[in-house]
Structure 1
Amino acid sequence: MGIDFRASMQPSGELEVRDVTIGFVPITCSSPLINAAAMGIFGQYGLNVTLQRYTGWGELWIAYVAGELDATQMLIPMPLGIHHQFAAGQRDSRLPYITNINGQAITLGSQHMGRVHSAEDFRNLTIAVPFDYSGHNLLLRDYLALGGLDPDYDVGIQVMRPSDMVASLNVGDIDGFLAPDPFNQRAVALGAGYLHMLSKDLWDGHPCCSFTVADEFATAYPNTYTTLLRAIGDSAVWTDQADHRAMAAETMAGRAFLSQDPEVIAAVLTGEFDDGQGTHHSVDDRIAFRPYPHETYAIWSLTQLQRWDLAPREGYHSAADYQSAVREVLDPEAATPILQALGANTTQRKTETIIGRTFDPADPLPWTEKQVNS
C-alpha cells in the first residue's frame, strides 16, 4: 500500500553518516520507527536506516550494550538502567523521544471471565510481562500492591517475549499478561483471552517505549542525530492523526515489520475494538504518539525500579537527586525545537495521575516504599 508522504523539514546540515542501524521489537509501540521506514521518510531525509528486529527485550538490551546498534526503541526504564548501570552492561545514552503513550492492556485467559474483577483476584495467578525493566512490570506491581497483594509472593510474574504470550495463554501456561499490542487484541481475535483493562485505565497518558540513542553516536554525528529526530518526529505526528491510523495498520502489517493481521493492528490503532467479553469499544487514544520526553515519566520509573529492587536507593535523598539522574538521559533540548516546528505539544507535565493517586516529581521518595498491605 503506497502512501504519498512529504517530509516537513530538511536534513540538519551535512550528514556526517547516512547509514544508521536502529533496533526495534515488533509491537505497535514502534509505529513511528516502522512508518518512518515503510513510508520512505528516513530516505527523504537522506538517511539509510536499517531496522534490526528483535523478538525480545533481553536480546535487544545485549545488542545495544555491545554497540551493535546506533539507536533503538526501548522500554522507558531500559535506558535509565543501561546509562546508570543498574543491571548488566553500561552505555551512555540519550532519550529524546517517547515513541508512544498508552497502548498496553491486561489480558486474561477466557477461563477467568467473570471470576477476576479486581487486583485482589490475581492471587496465585501467573501473569507475564515483557521485561523486568518495563513499565508493564512496574504498573502491574503497583496495581497488585494497591490491591493488597505482594507481587513477589502472591502472584507469579513471569518475563516472556511478547510474541510468545498468546500461545502460552492459549495452552494455559500463564493466566494472563500485561503486554503491548497487538498481542492483547490478537488474543481476543483468537478467542484465547479477553481484555481485563487497558493500561490507560491505570494511568492515562503513561509512557511505554522510547527512542534511545547512544551518546557517542549523537556526539560524533550531531547533524545525523538531529535529522533522525526530524524524520521520526515527522512520522510520529503523522501516525498520531486519526485519519491515518487505518492506513498505518496496513503499512505496518507486513513481514518486515509487525507480521500480524492488519485488522488486529487497525483495532488497536483506531481504538475501535472488541474486548472479548461481548462489548465493542471506541477509545481513540488506546495508543497515541506524542513524543515529548516528560521528566515525570522518567522520575516515576526510577522510583518504581527502586521500589522493587531493580535500582539502588543509595545517593537518592531528594527530588533534586532524581531530577539530576533522569536529566543525564532525557534530551528534551534536542526534541523541543523539532516538535514545536511540527506543532506537537512540548509543555512539561507537572504531575501524573496513577491508579487514582497524584504523582508529584517534587516528592518522589514516598513512591519508593513497597506499600504492600499484609
Structure 2
Amino acid sequence: MRTGEAAASALSRRRLLGLGASAGAATLLSACSPTQTGTAGTASADFDPSLTAPAGLEKRTMTIGYVPITCGTPIVTAAALGVYAKYGLEVTLRRYTGWAELWIAFVAGELDATQMLAPMPLAIHHNFASGRRDLRLPFVTNTNGNGITVARSLLGKVKGPDDFAGLRVGLPFDYSVHSLLTRDYLASGGLDPEQDVDLRIMRPADMVTALAVGELDAFCLPDQFNQRAVAEGAGFIHLLTKDLWPGHPCCSFAVAEDFAAANPNSYTALLRALGDVSLWIDEPAHRAEAAELMTAGSALGMPQPVLEAVLTGKFPDGTGKNRSVPDRIGFQPYPHESFGVWMLDAMQRQDLTGDAEFTQAGDYAGAVNSVFDSHAAADVLGSLGGDTAEHTSETVLGRTFDPRRPKKWSF
C-alpha cells in the first residue's frame, strides 16, 4: 500500500484500495499524518459538570481521533474545558488530516473512539469497503454545519442544481453526507452526477486553495471551509446543506465495540462528558466562547472570526449579504434511526454498500440499530435534558422521507 497522501488519493469512486488490508500498513499510514495534541486531562474551573462520573471506571486512559473541522467541536471543546478530566478520564486526542487515514487507524485498533463522518460507522461495521471493526455509534457530533460553496467567478451563473453541469466539484469522502446529499441535489436538477459533473474526492484542507486557483469550481464541505472561502474572496456560499435537509447529521462519534464492552463504566463516563459539553455548546450563549477555545488551542487551524461566524450563525455569504442563521450548526447528539436509514438507502442507491443489499424496512432498521447505540444515548441525554424523541420522518430536498418506506424516496 502507498503511504500518506498517495494512499488518500487512491480512494477513488467505488473503491477503497487496500483500506485496512493489514495492521502494518495501517500503522505506517496513520503515523505519517496524525498529530498528537496531548493528553486532555487537566480540569478547568470554567465548566461545571451536570452529571457525575460513574463509580468503578475500568480504564481511565483512552485515545480519541478527530479531523480538524467544526463538526468535531464537542470532542475538542471537551478537552479545552477539561470536561474529560472532570468525568475521571485521561483522553489523548489524535488529529488526522483525512478520513482515509482515520479509517485505517481505527480499524487497526489504534483508537478507542473517534469522530467519523456519519455514514462511516455503518460502512465500517457492516464491511461495505475494505477494513472493518465492530463499533457503536452513540452520538452524532453535530447536525447541519455544511454548505456548497461556488467559485467567485461563477457568481450569478450558478443558481440551481442544473447549473452545475460540467463543473468540477470537490467532496471530502464517498462515505459522507456531503457526498450523498450533493449527488441527490444534482440529480434533483436532472443531472447524472457521475456523467454530467466532475466530482473529485479531496482532503478538505486543500479545497479552498483549489477553488482560489481555479482547480475546482465548487465544493461541499464543513462550514469552516465555506466561510474561509468567503473570507479569502475565493467563493460564495451557494447554499447551506440545512436548506436541503434541515437538521441532518454530519459527523458522528464512534466507539470500538471491544473497548465499550470491556469498559462499560468508562464508556458511560465518556458519553456523559461528550453529551454534557455538546448541550453546553448548543446553547447560543456559549457559541462564541467555544470558537475562542478552539482557536486558542490551534485544534482546527482556523482564525477565530471564521469559527465564530460558523458557530454563531452570523456571517457574510460572499454575495454581499450578511446572514443570520442560528441553526447553521447544531449540537443535539441523539442518533435518530431515521438518520441511519436515509444514509443506508443513499449509500445503496449510489453503489456504496458492497455485497450488502437492503430490500425491506426491517433490513434497514436492523442494520442501523446494530450500530446506533440509542439506548446509551437516551440514558445520558435524558439525564441532561437533551432531545431524545425519535424522528418519525425526515424532510430531504423538500420531500418526506419515511424510514418505514425508504425505497419510495429516491432521485
Bin of the TM-score, shorter chain as denominator length: over 0.9
Residue 239 of structure 1 pairs with residue 281 of structure 2: yes
Which residue is equivalent to 1:291?
Answer: 333
**Structure 1: distance between partners of 2:333 and 2:97:** 23
Give, as a single letter, the amino acid of the residue that structure 2 aligns with 1:95. L
Pick one of 206, 214, 219 that aligns with 2:256.
Answer: 214
Partner of 1:282: 324
Q: What is the match of residue 384 of structure 2?
A: 342
For the residue of structure 2 that corresponds to 1:253, the secondary structure is helix
What amino acid is aligned across from residue 356 of structure 1 in structure 2?
G
Q: Percent identity?
A: 55
Note closer, same or farther for the CA distance 1:61–1:314 as it changes in structure 2 (3 Å cut). closer
- Residues of 1 paired with 2:356 and 2:177: CA distance? 22
> Which SS does the other structure have where 1:292 is aligned?
coil
> Is contact 1:254–1:260 with CA below 8 Å preserved after alignment?
no
CA shift digits 1:40-76 (9 cap, x unpaired): 0001111000110001111101111111100000111
Which of 59, 63, 72 is matched with 1:21 structurally? 63
Alignment of 1:95-106 (within 5 A): 95-106=137-148
TM-score by length of 2: 0.88
Aligned equivalents of 1:333, 1:128: Cα separation in 2: 36
Instruction: Give the aligned residue type for 1:253.
Output: T
What is the CA distance between 1:255 and its match in structure 2?
Answer: 4.9
Does residue 205 of structure 1 match 2:247?
Answer: yes
In 1: Cα distance, 2:196 partner to 2:275 partner: 42
Separation in 2, partners of 1:126, 1:98:
30
Which stretch shows the higher mean deviation, 357-366 or 228-237?
Answer: 357-366
Is structure 2 residue 224 aligned with structure 1 residue 182? yes
Shift of 1:7: 1.1
Of residues 57, 75, 78, the one that matches 1:33 is: 75
Offset, 1:253 = 1.2
CA distance in 2 between counterparts of 1:112 and 1:341 reads 49
| Letter aligned with residue 76 of structure 2 | I
Aligned with residue 53 of structure 1, among 84, 95, 101: 95
Q: Which amino acid aligns with 1:218?
A: A
Secondary structure in 2 aligned to 1:259?
A: coil
- Residue pairs, 1:261-280, within 5 angstroms: 261-280=303-322
Residue 365 of structure 1 aligns with which residue? 407
Task: Decide whether the 8 Å contact of 1:306 with 1:313 is kept in 2.
Answer: no
Distance 2:306 2:120 in 1: 28
In the alignment, the residues of structure 2 paired with residue 239 and residue 213 of structure 1 have an alpha-carbon distance, to the nearest angstrom, of 21
Q: Residue type matched to 1:146 in 2?
A: S
Amino acid at match of 2:207: M
The answer as to whether partners of 2:348 and 2:357 remain within 8 angstroms in 1 is no
2-structure distance, mates of 1:162, 1:254: 21
Match of residue 207 from structure 2 = 165
Q: Give unmatched runs, 5+ long, in structure 2.
A: 1-43
- Report which structure shows greater RCO (CA 8 Å, sep ≥6): 1
- SS of 2:255's equivalent in the other structure is strand
Structure 1 residue 181 displacement after superposition: 2.2
CA-based RMSD: 1.1
Q: Which residue number corresponds to residue 271 of structure 2?
A: 229
Question: What is the letter of the counterpart of residue 229 of structure 2?
Answer: A
**Pair 1:68 & 2:110 matched:** yes
Amino acid at match of 2:261: T
1:238 shift after superposition:
0.4
Alignment-derived partner of residue 50 in structure 2: 8
Q: Report if aligned partners of 1:27, 1:182 keep a CA contact under 8 Å in 2.
A: yes
Amino acid at match of 2:46: D
- In structure 1, stretches of 5+ residues that fail to align are none
